[in-house]
Structure 1
Amino acid sequence: PAPGKKDQMFLLGNEACALGAIAAGSRFMASYPITPASEVMEYMIKNMDKLGSTIVQTEDEIAACMTAMGGVYAGVRGFTCTSGPGLSLMAESLSMASMAELPMVVIDVQRSGPSTGMATKVEQSDIDAACYNAHGDYAGIVISPTSIEECFYEIQKAFNLAEMYQCPVIFMPDLQQGLNKQSVPSFDLNRVPINRGKMMKEADLPELEQPHYFKRFELTEDGISPRTIPGMKNGLFLSTGLEHNEEGKPAEAPTMHVAQTDKRFRKLETVADNYEPFLNNAKYDEADVLVVGMASSRGAIEEAVAEFDQEGVKVNHLQLRLIKPFPAKQLQPFMDAAKKVVIVEHNATGQLTNLFKINMHKKSKISSCLKYDGNPFTKSYVKNAIKEVL
């Protein structure tokens, strides 16, 4: 049927990501082309002249990540975009961004792997890489949109989270979202206000007394330090990949390394309080099954759940947005209220399921619905998996 006169947009998920980055105030991107993520950079290039933006196509993903980090250090909302192979190359750079507390955004449009895998097929097998790939005690955030519409809104929140918590944020749609073109309600440009966190104003900075620098890495109670950018009078600090004191000067004293490491992790404790960790489609106080998915599996799960409703089977559904830090406290009540839990994911090793088993109580309830043939989930596939646990 004809859709009638609706205010809609027809676009790829990748285009929604790019448009969301623009709405978030980003005017700097450094990237290297890779399927299925290239359309993000192509959209930015197409519109850069209208926006006064700078888009840099680098020689590889390592350079892309480091160049974007340079932009972020200079004070702009910079980002890069890649897929699994490029994310692997960025591991060392992301670890440095964690140490230097740079608010870096990386879009990872997931495809089938490992290696170059199947570049045009869907998978959600970068979860472990996004959470653990960087070396050392790496403090970062990983989030995932649940729809093409959310590619626009949640990438804006990714930029906010990066600056609020001063750390890398990996934004993980999958290929089915990135390369799928569909109609969505026209976007509200004012729905997500820009939040730059503890960015200081030059007028508020106290005079520095030599030989001291600004305490860019101050040991604060909430773990988040005040931030300046180069050129601010009285905002001078040192920034490297080395462990440091509060002014950024290299420091290897055991007490300082412990204090700074604890600070970097302490600040992440409130992420789930300031970001909606999942889409809540749980209708029942007590459910036969709780189904949890991420990214593009949402549609198939919703169709399956609707049919179970008609059959009198109580199925609750959560679509996860926050992958790291894992929102165990927020998820536990829904697990407690269900007899069984099914995790729906596009990979062979149950990477999302493993996160649940590591972080949650009552692990015996948990089972997986896995699909790794490169094709999207269907209603019948999800429904059969739920019937098996019933």
Structure 2
Amino acid sequence: MFSAPRGVPDYIPPTSAAFVHVRSTLTRAAELAGYGYVELPVFEDTALFARGVGESTDVVSKEMYTFLDRGDRSITLRPEGTAGVMRAVIEHSLDRGQLPVKLYYAGQFFRAEAPQAGRYRQFHQVGIEAIGVDDPALDAEVIAVGDAGFRALGLTGYRLEITSLGDSNCRPAYRELLQAFLAKLPLDEATRQRAELNPLRVLDDKRPEVRALVADAPLMVDHLCDACREHYELVKAYLTELGVKFVENPRMVRGLDYYTKTTFEFVHDGLGAQSGIGGGGRYDGLMAQLGGQELSGVGFGLGVDRALLAAQAEGVLPEFSRVDVIGVPLGEAARARLVAIAGELRAAGVRTDLVYGGKSMKAGFKVADRSGARVALVLGERDLESGQIGIKTLATGEQVSVALTDVVEAVRKAL
């Protein structure tokens, strides 16, 4: 017997309906802010992620699914969305038109991590990218879209953490300051090498002993240049205008190297160790790094799997049903007529199913009760002769008869 690969979740009914609800709610928030949909390849040239995400990151160095295709080209299953969106923007010259380019995506991503609750090797994200304008109001909009998506799900038990990681003007001096601080610490060899490549990564180390060592490390937010500090203050002011609550976390370090200036994360403490349900930030040098123009960008990735877990933990998911109406035929002629009626109802936008297999009335109603439908259509041979059909409200057991010619309108009123 075959099983799904370890760390790859199946979503089957009824959980799959909740999954679709979460994903569509998050994408709807992007659509309401004017973002257009982009469908990206599931795999890309490995160099795109190595260059765009950063050689020193765990994503590139440890977690990517990379393989040679039949043409001996190095291919990688996408571990994140921003680099692929940027490649598409450059390739299709979207950056040559009206700016900002505002895009959203949804789909599967892949990282070879140790599976645990909320952390999968195949996971799902909804993301947005706004490219081409360096405006703190745009940063605030992006953050607000993510917040709106989570609020539309009914989530309340999360917090938004923000900070600024500076830019190419102020980060080099801070990098030297941080490296000088780290050089005095008794770090293991692997961590010391990481500090040489990207010292910010050390601040993101999850080991308690390392966290204790870097507790007094200098923070980027205290060493911003005037322009970055002004940008950060304006982002916070716009978030306040938008009614988006936030807390500042000057120790935040994102797992990808391309972030500059505004950086943020949505955190839900009800999920245990994997508490991040989404995050993102600004990436001002990424497009040029990938061969495009020197244009700025800002975006996020929201975890659909983790948002679903958060919604389940808070008990805010609505009730889901497969169908609204189910037909219960009693006899062959009745079945033929209900097949036609089901087609009419579906054409009218009503989710409709039938009891199949020639079941008895008792067995048919057991199927109807399990379907989650609100209404059952009951049709037998005598009903056909009289031109009537029964409409039964399954929650109450109340049943009325209507003319067969009026059934579609009667059902729509009953719903």
Both proteins in one fold, TM over 0.5:
no
Larger fraction in strand:
2
Q: Give the alignment's TM-score, normalised by structure 1.
A: 0.24
Q: Which has the larger radius of gyration?
A: 2
